[in-house]
Structure formats: C-alpha cells, structure tokens
Homo-oligomer: A and B are copies of this chain.
Amino acid sequence: MADGTLRAGGKVPSTRALAAAFGVSRTTVTAVYEQLAAEGFIVTAAGRVARVASQLAPAAPSKPGRRAPPQTTLSAYGRRVENMAMTAMTSGKPLRVDFLYGAVAARDFPALAWRRAHQAALLQHQHRLYYEPPEGDASLRRAVQGYLARARGLLCEAEQIVIVHGSQQAIDLCARVLLDPEDAFAFENPGYLMARRCFEATGAKLLPVPVDDLGLDTTQLPEDRSVRLVYTTPSHQFPLGAMLPIGRRQELMRWAARRQAWIIEDDYDGEFRYGQRPIDALHAIDTQGRVIYIGTFSKALSPQLRLGYLVLPPELVPVFRQAKRLSDRHAPVLEQRALATLIDSGAYERHVRRVRRENERRRSALLDAIAQHLPADARVVGTAAGLHVVLWLPMVRQQDEAAVVAAAREVGVGVYPVSPLYAGPPGRKKPRPAGLIVGYASLDVEQIRKGVRALAAVLHRLVHAGGQGRAVQQAGDFVEPLPRAPGRIAQP
C-alpha cells in the first residue's frame, strides 16, 4: 500500500490466502488486518472482502538529497531569539580552577536533608495526582512568606507569591506580561545578560542606565514615555557588586511613580552579605505597589533545582497566575513540598548560615590571594556581598580582556570577561580597563589560591611581553577613576 503495489480501493488478499502464502496462522493474519483496519489502511466489513482505503495515496518516491529544506517561518520572537548571543560559559576543555560565576559547590548542597524532605513529600498522602494551582504549593508560599519577613525585611501576603522555575522564568514572565515591541525598558549597564536578553526578546527597546560605585545611577533613569519597567539588582549589583543606598532607592521609587513604571528587583544573592546583616529588600520601602521582587534558591541550594519565586503587587497577581498556568501549569509538586518542609523545619536557614560562613572563608582566601599575588593596582569591587567579585585590571586595556581570559584558560584557569555585560554602542567615551568576573562559590580555599597565583603569572607574562604589542598596557595609562569598592566605611 505504501509503495502503490496495492492500489487505493483495491481488494486485499483474504486472511486465509495470506496465511497460506506466508505459512503463518490465520489468527496472526487476522490480528494484522485488525491493526491495519484500526490505523485506517484497509476497510473491512463483516462478510465483505477487505479493501485498501480509498483515500490512501502511495508515498511519493523519495529522492534523497533533492528534497528542499522546509521554509522556516518563525515568529518575530523566534527570529529575535534564534540568533541571540548568550554566553555559553562551560564549553571548552576542562579547567583546573574555574571561577565560574553562578556555580555552587556540590558538597554545599544539603543532600541528606533534601533526600529526607523529598521522601516525606513522596509519602504525603494524596488520593489522586492532578494539576496544582499555577501560583504553586500553598505550604511553600507560606514558608517563603515567613522566610522573606525574617531574612529580607519583606512583608507580603502568601497570595502575592508565585512559585516559578528559577529566577529566569520570573524574569521571562515579567517580560511577556509587561512589555510590547513598541515599549522600552531601563536596564542596569553593565547588567545581568540573561535578563537583558529576555527583555530584548520581546522586541522592546533597551535603555541602558549607567552603574557607578553606588549601583544604578538613578539620576540617569530615562524619562521616555514608552518606558514600562526597570530591571535592577539593588542588594548586590550584578556584576559590579554595589549595594544601592537608601537615597537612590527613594529616587528610584519616585521615578517609578512618575513614569508609572514597574521596578523589577532581582535579589539573586541577597542571602550572602558578609560582616553586616543582609540589607532589606527594596520591596520593603515600596508603598505604591510598584516593585516586583524576584527570589531564587539557585544560590543557597542549587541552580539545578530550578526553583524561585515572584512577590507581586496585588493587582498583578491574577495576570501572572494566568501566564504561569499557560506557560507550564505549575512548578513540580514534590520539590515544592520538600522545600517547604526544609524551610518550615528551620533547616533551610541553618543551611544558609552555614553556606554563608563557607563562602565568607572562600571570599577571604580570594581577597588575600589577590592582594598577595596580583599587581597592586588591580582593583576588586563588589566584595561586601554575593558569590563573586569583579577584578579590574588597569594594566590591561579593555580590548585585551578576551586575550587575558584566553591566556588564563590556556593554563587551566576560568575567569569571565565583564565586557559582554555592557550594553550600548561600542564607541564609549571613556576607556575602561579589562575586567574579570571571578566567582568563588564552587571552589575550595586551596583551589582559589592556586587559581589566583596562576592568573597572576598569566598577567605578569602578558604585561611583560608588552613590547610585542599584545594584550598589554602599562599600569597608570587609565584616566578614568576606578570604581570604589563599596562597603569600606570609616568608623563614625
């Protein structure tokens, strides 16, 4: 039938004849004919001869290699996304010391507690398994509400919380629900690339807002009528690490009120502040319902869990729930319940404190090693919080940043260029030195020391090969004042 030997509408052999011809039992042939009939290849009726279905066409003879590839018709979103550059951080050969930002140490994960909590969730009685509400498990939302009040000074109702698949989905939902192609969005420059890409994918216009040593420069927020939102990381600016001071926070709030704009506060590593207690979320001073707060468990537990949450102004709750339901129904139930158990039992906060101490040790080792091995004018910023720092290298020109990164990879050290996180035209007014993002949460203290020593050797070699004109600039060539490290405050 497929190749036309039996033509459409024609008779097929009787089951008896075919069984005889192939030497198989008639039961077998009958079963085959039933299957063929069920699939619509043949038409049968009691007492009549079976026939090939009349609308059946033999497949056109295939001409391998000659078939034209189908014309791809993507949506505008699909076309924008298809060729979007996103940094693939983990390609290439394995590294001895990888200062990969966003990675956490596997041994920091509370595997035993997670296993127990997951098992308890599995044993929790349900008489049937069905879809859950899109906003997520009620017990987890209550647990997150309590945690936010205790740890982040953020008071909200559990109804304002929507559990999502990590902060990436939170950002994506904001982009879809709030931005049209004719809109604009304000964005920290430099800023978190995967968030910028989400907003850009909507077709909306990027309005970069400079970041200085105090974080987002709120005096430069755009007054365009088309601006709908600003994305910001006030607890620990990504990547430069400043904590947005209260004056700017207030200015940001006034701007949002004036522009009727939303503030998306991505509190991606708010748990990790060293020395002082963690700063309250920006959300805590929001009296107008303009702040959309995004939290994640990627840093404190694991980026592979894919669990995060939104805290929404009440008026946005219905539309985000609908959008979440259409996107993927809801977050997986067992993981949500396991996490709720972890938080409710206090184990999550004990774990956060333990991991914070662990990361404080890593951070100290990193800063000590940098002070000891790197040239004196290397500047480290963003050290007061988080799981990474930015290392400015005034002895290396910005255009040689990639060469430093490549040379470090050659000796098995992974560091990451800061330049891709800058938006805007290449023709900048002031030159900027090379900058490296150095994450430390996945490494142990010994690796960190080794890595910095190797990086220092690479820099030394590159700078002193200066005569050959590659990846080199003498220290002191830069006129731009370097970002000050935040948090260095003299005693009153």
Q: Using CB atoms and an 8 Å cutoff, list the residues of chain A in contact with chain B.
A: 12, 14-15, 30, 33-35, 37-42, 44-47, 49-50, 53-57, 59, 62, 67, 69-78, 81-82, 84, 86, 89-90, 98, 100, 102-106, 109, 111, 114-115, 118-119, 122-123, 125-132, 164-166, 168-169, 172, 176-180, 183, 194, 197-198, 201-202, 214, 228, 243-251, 254, 260, 262, 276-277, 279-280, 285, 287-290, 302-307, 313, 315-316, 318-319, 322-323, 325-335, 384, 442, 487, 489-492
Contacts and interface: CB of A to CB of B under 8 A. Distances in A.
A185 to B, nearest CB: 11
A368 to B, nearest CB: 22
How many copies make up the complex? 2
A230 B77 CA distance: 19
Interface hub of A102, A172, A198, A244 (most chain B Cβ within 10 A): A172
Given A69-B289, A111-B122, A327 B169 contact: yes
Contacts of A214: 40
A408 B129 CA distance: 22
Contact of A103 (B76, B128, B304, B492): B128
Nearest to A137: B304
Nearest to A84: B322
B30 A491 contact: yes
A331 B331 CA distance: 10
A384 to B, nearest CB: 7
A81 B177 contact: yes
Nearest to A322: B81
B289 A129 contact: no
B489 A34 contact: yes
Scoring A35, A57, A77 by chain B CB atoms within 10 A of each residue's CB, the highest score goes to A77
A129 B114 contact: no
A38 B279 contact: yes
Nearest to A31: B276
Contact of A129 (B38, B109, B249, B279): B109
Contacts of A302: 129
Nearest to A126: B106
A331 B305 CA distance: 8
A40 B285 CA distance: 14
User: Which of A62, A114, A115, A245 gathers most chain B CB within 10 Å?
Assistant: A245
Contact of A288 (B30, B67, B315): B67
A22 to B, nearest CB: 15
Nearest to A55: B247
A245 B280 CA distance: 62
A176 B78 contact: yes
28 contacts: A34-B489, A38-B279, A39-B243, A39-B279, A40-B245, A40-B249, A41-B246, A42-B492, A53-B246, A54-B247, A59-B250, A59-B285, A70-B313, A72-B316, A74-B319, A78-B176, A78-B323, A82-B319, A86-B322, A89-B130, A102-B131, A104-B130, A109-B129, A129-B304, A165-B328, A165-B329, A166-B329, A168-B327
Contact of A247 (B37, B40, B72, B323): B40
Contacts of A384: 38
Nearest to A336: B304
A129 B115 contact: no
Given A73-B178, A122-B115, A328-B172, A37 B246 contact: no
B130 A90 contact: yes
Q: Which of A35, A53, A89, A247 has the most CB of B within 10 A?
A: A247
Across the A-B interface, the 10 shortest Cβ-Cβ residue pairs: A40-B245, A55-B247, A46-B490, A304-B333, A128-B442, A169-B328, A78-B177, A165-B328, A103-B130, A50-B492
Nearest to A106: B126
A178 B109 CA distance: 39
A304 B250 CA distance: 42
Given A38-B384, A304-B132, A325 B243 contact: no
